[in-house]
């Protein structure tokens, strides 16, 4: 089969158990060539011997790593049709005491990482006047609560950048889609807690320790949406001829859309009860 007849989709953060991995499988099931990337190849070893996947190590924090992976993709396929900026980290900590290094790491991964990828693929997509860029945002932006301020702010920044990119890249034939997940069952709480264990002991916020830890697990309740269900719906939307600018799905996506429109005093009241602050 002519390798150029299929869409080539590059996804960041495809470690098994996460949204990126589920998206990789869902794009492959829709007849796409999938460049599944993650920091370590071993984290996606189950995709290793399947010809639908081209596995690459890619750390969104590293210019060299991005350049190296993209040059391998161009050598193999000569094109990238869809970029999915999925890699991301959660971060829980009170803003008044969070180490700035933790805040910076969150922004480096969730904001500058996607922009690094965008800047790397746009010249290629613009030259073909064809391409789609999918940024994975979050419903937390709709009603940011306590303890995840760094994460919510990073995703809010990504939402804003996505809105601007959609307008700036339109003249070059590139669609930009903000995919806004609700609560999806993944490994996000595990990595959030790994980061949390590096935090210093809180001064003012010691009495809130349990609530802060609980926030890391908020999206991982027993009713959270399975990642394959979310991925299937997302891929169907992204592969449309004219994809929408915004797609939100998963547990809490409707309630968060409503929260977004509530007067702030009501929203704060609801959040204070739910988040124990
Ligand atoms: N799960 C949810 O409820 C939810 C809700 C809203 C938005 N999201 C967003 O969905 C995306 C995927 O998260 P997830 O829930 O699937 O969490 P996850 O299971 O923890 O997956 C996150 C992925 O990002 C990767 N990653 C982290 N730092 C990276 C870096 N510097 N370079 C490359 N990859 C890196 C991780 O790699 P390692 O395995 O090497 O750490 C992992 O593959 C994130 O952007 C997240 O913010 C998730």
Task: Please indicate whether residue 86, judged by its CB atom, sits closer than 6 Å to ligand 1.
Answer: yes
Our measurement of the distance from residue 58's CA atom to the centroid of its chain's CA atoms, rounded to an integer in Å, reads 15
Active site residue 155: yes
- Cβ–ligand 1 distance for 39 under 6 Å, the answer yes
Q: CB of 38 closer than 6 A to ligand 1?
A: yes
What's the confidence (pLDDT) of residue 4?
53
Task: Please give the structure tokens belonging to residue 124.
Answer: 């290629």
- Pocket flag, ligand 1, residue 122 (CB < 6 Å): no
Q: Tell me, in angstroms, the distance from the centre of ligand 1 to residue 90's CA.
A: 8
Ligand 1 centre and the CA of 61: distance in Å? 13
Separation of CA 84 and ligand 1 centre (Å): 12
CA of 82 to the centre of ligand 1 (A): 18
Q: Does residue 146 contact residue 215 with C-beta atoms inside 8 Å?
A: yes
Cβ–ligand 1 contact at 37 (below 6 Å): no
Neighbours of 46 (CB within 10 A): 11
Pocket probe for ligand 1: among 11, 13, 145, the residue whose CB has the most ligand atoms within 8 Å is 13
Q: What is the mean pLDDT of the chain?
A: 97
Q: How far is the CA of 85 from the centre of ligand 1 (A)?
A: 10
Q: What domains, with CATH codes, occur in the chain?
A: 3-275 (3.40.50.720)
Name the phi and psi angles at 90, rounded to 5.
Answer: -90, 155
Per-residue pLDDT tens over the stretch 34-87: 999 999 999 999 999 999 999 999 999 999 999 999 999 999 999 999 999 999
CA angle 85, 6, 242 (to 5 degrees): 60
Residue 259 has pLDDT above 80, yes or no: yes
What average pLDDT does range 158-172 have in this prediction?
A: 98
pLDDT value for 5: 75
- CB contact set of 234 (below 8 Å; sequence gap of 6+): 23, 26, 134, 179, 247, 249
**105-149 tens-digit pLDDT:** 999 999 999 999 999 999 999 999 999 999 999 999 999 999 999
- Catalytic-labelled residue, pool 6, 77, 132, 151: 151
Atom of ligand 1 at shortest distance to CA of 155? 47
Which residue owns the Cα nearest ligand 1 atom 46? 88
Phi, psi of 54 (to 5 degrees): -115, 110
Contact 59, 39 (CB under 8 A): yes
Looking from the CA of residue 136, the nearest atom of ligand 1 is 45
Q: What are phi and psi of 95, to 5 degrees?
A: -60, -30
Q: What is the pTM of this model?
A: 0.98
Quick check: CB of 188 below 6 Å from ligand 1? yes
- Quote the pLDDT of residue 1: 42
Whether 6 is catalytic:
no
């Amino acid at each position: 089969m002519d390798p150029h007849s299929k869409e080539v989709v590059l996804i960041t953060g495809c470690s098994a158990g996460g949204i990126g991995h589920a998206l990789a499988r869902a794009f492959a099931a829709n007849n796409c060539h999938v460049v599944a990337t993650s920091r370590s190849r071993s984290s996606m070893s189950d995709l290793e011997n399947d010809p639908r996947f081209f596995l690459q190590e890619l750390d969104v924090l590293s210019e060299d790593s991005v350049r190296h992976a993209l040059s391998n993709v161009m050598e193999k396929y000569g094109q990238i049709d869809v970029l999915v900026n999925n890699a991301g980290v959660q971060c829980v900590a009170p803003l008044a005491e969070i180490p700035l290094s933790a805040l910076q790491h969150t922004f480096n991964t969730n904001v500058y990482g996607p922009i690094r990828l965008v800047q790397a693929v746009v010249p290629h997509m613009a030259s073909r006047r064809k391409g789609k860029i999918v940024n994975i945002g979050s419903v937390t932006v709709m009603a940011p609560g306590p303890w995840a301020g760094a994460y919510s702010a990073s995703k809010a920044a990504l939402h804003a950048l996505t809105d601007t990119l959609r307008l700036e890249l339109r003249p070059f034939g590139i669609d930009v889609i903000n995919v806004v997940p609700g609560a999806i069952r993944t490994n996000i709480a595990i990595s959030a807690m790994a980061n949390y264990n590096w935090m210093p002991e809180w001064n003012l916020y010691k009495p809130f320790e349990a609530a802060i830890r609980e926030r890391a697990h908020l999206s991982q309740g027993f009713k959270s949406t399975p990642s394959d269900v979310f991925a299937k719906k997302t891929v169907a939307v992204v592969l449309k001829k004219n994809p929408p600018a915004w797609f939100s799905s998963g547990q809490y996506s409707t309630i968060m859309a409503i929260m977004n429109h509530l007067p702030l005093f009501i929203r704060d009241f609801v959040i204070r009860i739910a988040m124990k602050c």
